[in-house]
Structure 1
């Protein structure tokens, strides 16, 4: 059984995986990213360092220089638009910026691997900081005619495509994919699954988490939201940030924020952290909070941001707001409420794993019975435990 698990390759995790939708870091803008995210119905899109349109005209280029350099979601766009220089000047100008402004400085978050990459190697890459492993899909070669047909089905070939110049398609493996795979072999790890997360020592203390006070401005949380995106975690909303006995009230999850549209940047610029939770809750803002955002934008003279909000919220009474519609289109499981997913320090590793998988998150907050925040447990912490176990089998 152990040898069977150790012999697995990442190609075993790619079965049934859809090909990646791609954006070009060379030619795409932030506005292109917004349009592609809304049309794709996916929370994340991959960004590649090649220009697919250029490759169409370059017969000598086999596409071998195509490399994924990152991934983006609507939360990246919202953080970009929420920066002071973009809020105060012109959101429309910020949307014309190259898509590279949405990418983190490090490219280690996405790593290319071959289908033959061993499972243990993949786990090591995740532990070292990779968010996603990019894997070529092993399928029948795509003919030029079929490739052209697939490309024509996309709104703009130079912006988003599933097929590269050499006819190759790619998928990506996530931390959740690996955890789900290991769950199928959970009996192999006995008695590890029954041990509490406290006894395993995998709880990251409150000093290591990202937190913002309930009454502080949402804008002050933007750096933390960007870091949470890179870490695949979330920002805790607490009372008394920095207090050892602070209580967890809720969270500002990048995954939930990714289910809003770009007008949520106005909410970040005008609301408190607590009000922002209500704004993004369930994928769309209550009318009362939306009106409060508009009023504050008027008071601050943020005409450009106000125009953006009004253009996106304009719909008939019988229609849902674009923010709520987009939230549903992205992924019903991702457009969850801002209520934090929590566990107890005495919860078993198995229970926390299942809890995270069920809620489609990469982390679980750890709380005591008095609601005081203890810390956070992530998929990476769990993978470290499984990796050590396998190494000493």
Structure 2
């Protein structure tokens, strides 16, 4: 019976989770950018620590999307190197409760309730033996007062529930429409509108863990501008956001590198806006040194950081694009008659927290999110509590 799920604790979902990499809230955006580029995760946790009092709290997280949206502002785009001197705390959303500390002994229901209450990430202490603690205590990027932490997300909980999906029968086989999971209020932008007009929506979609739909004049879904895709890019995309249309931005961020014709368009429009120095600024900011510096460890490393606009995307040390990080701008879709379990599998397979719902003519009908799915499962579990 599904009642056995009530006995699971948060610790059961943390097995094998890597420790969080962290930054101080007083660190610069440049430090955050460097940490993000060297991290396998899509975001870095931000901490406020009073070591003298033994108090350390995770107060938020930052991603490449936060950096890109910050740099795409007019004042910051004109001088990226100056903008990157700002404290990382400038990127943190003003909404409280997006990150929440919980104990490993907290129940699965408590975790779901916190997520439904608005928490994006649950920060959980990692249980380690004394030998591991000694090995890790010297790692300042992951250790806080001798403790390490991991975090849980909506996706982690959904994956866990999917592993026991049969216990919720017949709910998984019901359609998302019958379950009332389709939300008709969503973020969207028209294909030919300036990409800069979508910056606020991109930031909002990052907070809501959804995406921005790109539609034509008839409401047909063309694609999306997804935070998950932008997180695979680098900071130079800010220049493309300020100069391209929403439709062209999709092509620019799609699959590991912008087309050369769009690169030339961005360069030309930067000149029209009297922002000729932006490309040089981005080169210096990305490499940490001037482009003619000989401090690079290899030719491959040098080429991957000294031409950032032409190589927008996340690259590994060899200079080749990391297939693991690739995300396409093509939207993931389903229909109102799709079953809940099918949509869950679809979202998890594509590493997204949502699936767009379209009509037979491809017009956009709404969106289904992990949050809405969790509400259905929570109602079922609540009846057993």
Determine if the TM-score, normalized by the shorter chain, exceeds 0.5.
yes
The structure 1 residue matched to 2:355, chosen from 358, 361, 364, is 364
Q: Corresponding residue for 2:295? A: none
Shift of 1:326: 1.7
- 1:388 corresponds to which residue? 379
Aligned residue pairs total 366
Within a 5 Å distance, the mapping from 1:311-322 to structure 2 comes to 322=308
- What is the deviation of 1:75? 0.7
Specify whether residues 182 and 122 from structure 1 end up closer, same or farther in structure 2 by C-alpha distance, changes over 3 A only.
same
CA distance in 1, matches of 2:142, 2:189: 39
Alpha carbons of structure 1 residues 327 and 98: separation in structure 2 relative to 1, 3 Å: same
- 1:211 equivalent in alignment to 2:188: yes
Q: From 105, 108, 112, give the equivalent of 2:97.
A: 108
Single out whichever of 379-388 and 98-107 deviates more from structure 2: 98-107
- Structure 2 gap segments, 5+ residues each: 293-298
- 1:95-121 residue CA offsets vs partner (Å, 9 max, x unmatched): 111101111002311110000110011
Aligned-partner Cα distance in 2 for 1:276–1:85: 21
2:245 alignment partner in structure 1: 272
Residues 30 and 175 of structure 1: CA distance in aligned 2, closer, same or farther (over 3 Å): same
Deviation at 1:252, TM superposition (A): 0.3
Task: Give the structure-2-normalised TM-score.
Answer: 0.89
| Matches of 1:38 and 1:113, distance apart in 2 | 28
- Give yes or no for contact 2:81–2:282 (8 Å, CA) kept in 1: no
User: Which stretch of the first structure deviates more once superposed, 300-309 or 230-239?
Assistant: 300-309
Secondary structure of the structure 2 residue equivalent to 1:337: coil
- Of the structure 1 ranges 312-321 and 295-304, higher mean CA displacement relative to structure 2 is found in 312-321
Pair 1:169–1:379, CA change in 2 (3 A): same
Question: Which residue of 2 is the match for residue 200 of structure 1?
Answer: 179
Over residues 170-217 of structure 1, what are the superposed CA-to-partner deviations in whole Å (9 max), with x where a residue is unaligned?
A: 000010000000011111110000100011111000xx1000010010
Q: 1:185: which partner in 2?
A: 164
Question: Is 1:255 equivalent to 2:228 in the alignment?
Answer: yes
Q: 1:284 maps to what in 2?
A: 257
Q: Which whole-Å CA distance do the structure 2 matches of 1:185 and 1:41 have between them?
A: 28
Paired residues of 2:69 and 2:199 also in contact (CA < 8 A): yes
**1:71 aligned counterpart, secondary structure:** strand
2:331 paired with 1:351: no
Equivalent residue number for residue 246 of structure 1: 219
Unaligned runs of 5+ in 1: 152-160
Cα offset, 1:150, TM superposition? 2.9
TM-fit CA distance, 1:331: 6.6
Partner of 1:76: 66
In the aligned structure 2, how far is the partner of 1:116 from the partner of 1:144?
20
Residues 356/334 of structure 1: CA separation in 2 closer, same or farther (3 Å cut) = farther
Give yes or no for contact 1:218–1:273 (8 Å, CA) kept in 2: yes
> In 1, distance between residues paired with 2:34 and 2:137?
21
Displacement after TM superposition at 1:15 (Å): 0.1
Q: CA RMSD in A?
A: 2.3
CA change 1:221–1:360 in 2 (3 A) is: same
CA distance in 1, matches of 2:229, 2:335: 23
Determine if the alignment matches structure 1 residue 171 to structure 2 residue 150: yes
Q: Aligned pair in 2 of structure 1 residues 169, 107: CA closer, same or farther (>3 Å)?
A: same
Evaluate the alpha carbon distance shift between residue 265 and residue 162 of structure 1 in structure 2; reply closer, same or farther with a 3 A threshold: same
Measured against aligned partners, the alpha-carbon deviations of 1:289-337 in whole angstroms (never above 9, x if no partner) come to 1121111111211134232345559798995665456256897444211
Contact 1:38 1:326 in 2 (8 A): yes
TM superposition score normalised by structure 1: 0.88
TM alignment of 1:334-349, pairs within 5 A: 334-349=325-340
